[in-house]
Amino acid sequence: MSARSIFARPARLAAIAPYLWMVLFFLVPFGFVLKISLSQTAIAQPPYVPLFDLTAGWAAIKAALSELSLDNFKLLVSDSLYISSYLRSIFVAVTSTAILLLIGYPIAYGMARLPQRWQPIAMMLVIVPFWTSFLIRIYAWINILQHDGLLNKMLLALHIVSTPVVWLSTDTAMYIGIVYSYLPFMILPLYATLAKMDGALIEAASDLGASPGRAFWLVTFPLSLPGVGAGALLCFIPIVGEFVIPDLLAGSGSMMIGQTLWLEFFTNKDWPVASAAAVALLLLLIPPLLLYDRLQRRTLRGGG
Amino acid sequence: MTEESPEITPKADGIADPAKPEPPPQAPVSPAPQFELAADMPLLRIEGVGKTFGSFRAVDRLSLDIRAGEFFALLGPSGCGKTTLLRMLAGFETPDEGRILLGAKDIAQVPPHLRPVNMMFQNYALFPHLSVRDNIAFGLKRAGMARDEIATRVAEMVALVKLEGMEKRKPDQLSGGQKQRVALARSLARRPQVLLLDEPLAALDKKLRESTQLELMDLQRRLGMTFIIVTHDQEEAMTMASRIGVMDAGRLEQVATPRELYEAPHSRWVAEFIGDVNLFDGEVGWRENNRLLVTTREGVTLAVTEPRQRVTKATVCVAIRPEKVKLSRRAPVSDAANTHAINRLEGVVTDVSYLGGLTAYKVKLESGAVVRASVANTARLDIDAYLAGQRVMAWFAPDDCMVLEQ
């Protein structure tokens, strides 16, 4: 009894800590954003009405609450700018995730089949670029992709092209940047699934008459699907909200939702609409987040 | 000790082979051999096969013949190369040298998916994403069998291993024993010419293991199939196999029936590996009738029956199994002394272990050597049991002694 009570309180506190963190740094700010998204824009500081004046009493709060409206959300669904931003975000995220899978799977598969002592080194090679600032790496890509950059110089030297190709400010550049930045997020979950796979299963498949190719498609690939799902969602979710990469590498023709948000906040100073867009983005990402959570749970339960 | 003629030749010391009943010539679902075997040809001939991993010689120029319909066990301590040998038969390892003839064809370099042998894996290696039915059908689909034929064969296999009603379950919904059956059904479904079993019962608990051993034997007999099992459990090998190859350091120490291995081991190593044994190193003194008198290092003279192959070396090792050592309080009467109890060792009981069916005694001789004797508990009330500290006479017959030259 006494031994229990010694440990019970700190243990309970430790269990509460993550929830406290979530409330303080996620729920409360989200409450602010949600509230702003329901109010009207104003030329003021801060640029929206109404504000809760807690000192003015219950009546004032009630008056302020009555001012809230869903107008901003109605704007989101009626203005094609927002809809096309959302659609573009999802399209870019789906395409990038597909490319990431195509590149990441063979790399993860190769890593998992390396001799045991080489695997940590391969893992390091995947992670090491993260030690450099993300922004610096994107600027490095600008350097490589620009008109007289490394890539064009190489292509010219190898006589593959006769005039420099326009890379920068195109979707190609954006996809290069996204795929480059998110590749580790794809490789690591895939590698984790593939590395723990029992080699005897492949042997059993070949013992039962499956050629190496058949064995891969009938055994390895289906069993790696949880890793595929985890990697795909781990990339898809943040790519939808990506701002920096499209802003620095893509053209200004069409925008992803992150860019639209930024524009509303900082250029138009329309905080309520921007907040509404942010809330909508979050709602959009809840289904894939739940899916990811379920996948993780299933792997935890079935794994071992 | 690497060559073994296909027929079991009667061995020295009059060890007969009642062993296992031969498989009936025609079994209900026997796999039709795809080629004609010459009458004197083994189904599988391993010829001078060697495999080295780095600097480790896993299998050392090993030769072995296995006949069709045999239940053959490869027995040895871990690291003796038995699993490597099995994996070379399955095709997961390629031998560095030598030939593996299945019928008349050398399959040493054939990849596993093209070999007419199947393997049952140690931890079963069931496909976790496939149902019992699809696990069993996996090999049949790869063989390009027609759909309805596959369904028939799967049903047949499910019935064979008594898993009716479980077809739709996934491996993680099965008990250990059920998984073992699925693995067996899956490896038998293609009707391989040889079934390889890698420690097939190691993951089962003792009781289940014993009943499964009998089921496996029964199955092998009914199918008339050739089974090669790898095991480190000598009891398992002796229960199931018609012949056992005892391996050590990549070589076959002896290939023989279970009874021969136990009663007439070829070497000191085999004698010690299979069961318990008392060993006495000594010098051959003189011969008398067909008896050999050996003076042990402790200064005791033991009379042993000379084996059929005459002992040529002067230094030998006399081996006697504990259950063949008798204990008594007094010296045996003269009549018995002349025929059976010529070898008498006096000592003090130091250790008594009651094991249920038998009691194991350790008797310390005056020379300091310890003799182990095990006595069957044939009566429920044993007022005659020996106690620690008691002076006893340990005696045994010359016929029960084995003379080992190596």
Task: Look at A10-19, A282-291, B243-252, B395-404 and tell me which has the smallest mean pLDDT.
Answer: A10-19
CB nearest to A208's CB, from B118, B122, B123: B118
- Position A60 confidence tier, pLDDT thresholds 50, 70, 90: confident
Mode of pairing for the β-strands spanning B278-288 and B291-296:
antiparallel
Spatial CA neighbour of A81 closest among A216, A259, A200, A201:
A259
Interface of B to A at Cβ within 8 Å reads: 90-92, 111-114, 118-119, 121-123, 125-129, 138-139, 142-143, 172, 186-187, 190
* Residue ranges per structural domain of chain B: 44-268, 278-404
- Looking at residue B157, its pLDDT comes to 93
Q: Are B241 and B74 in contact (CB under 8 A)?
A: no
Q: What are phi and psi of B117, to 5 degrees?
A: -120, 155
Euclidean distance between CA atoms A136 and A143, whole angstroms: 10
Contact residues for B1 (Cβ-Cβ < 8 A; gap 6+): B251, B252, B253, B254, B255, B266, B267
* Residue ranges per structural domain of chain A: 71-301
Q: What are phi and psi of A72, to 5 degrees?
A: -60, -40
ipTM reported for the complex, 2 dp: 0.80
CATH of domain B44-268: 3.40.50.300
Classify domain A71-301 at the CATH topology level. MetI-like fold (1.10.3720)
Segment B365-369 long-range contacts (CB within 8 Å, at least 24 positions apart): B365/B298, B365/B300, B365/B394, B367/B298, B367/B299, B367/B300, B368/B298, B369/B280, B369/B296, B369/B298
Q: pLDDT tens digits, residue range B48-60?
A: 999 999 999 999 9
A302 contacts B111? CB cut-off 8 A? no
Element of type H or E holding B106: strand B105-106
Classify domain B278-404 at the CATH topology level. OB fold (Dihydrolipoamide Acetyltransferase, E2P) (2.40.50)
- Position A6 confidence tier, pLDDT thresholds 50, 70, 90: low
Q: Are B82 and B76 in contact (CB under 8 A)?
A: yes
- Looking at residue B27, its pLDDT comes to 40
Taking CB atoms and an 8 Å cutoff, what residues of chain A touch B131? Answer: none
Euclidean distance between CA atoms B152 and B139, whole angstroms: 14
Q: What is the mean pLDDT of each run of 10 residues along chain B (406 residues)?
A: 42 50 45 53 92 93 93 93 94 94 92 94 93 95 93 94 92 92 94 93 87 90 93 92 94 94 92 93 83 85 84 88 90 60 86 91 90 90 83 90 86
pTM here? 0.80
Inter-CA distances, A278 with A30, A33, A253, B159, B334, Å: 10, 8, 21, 61, 107
CA distance A172 to chain B (A): 38
Residue B29 carries which side chain, given as an amino acid letter?
V
- Looking at residue B12, its pLDDT comes to 44
Task: Select the residue from A208, A214, A218, A225 to test the B interface by mutation, using most B Cβ atoms within 10 A.
Answer: A208
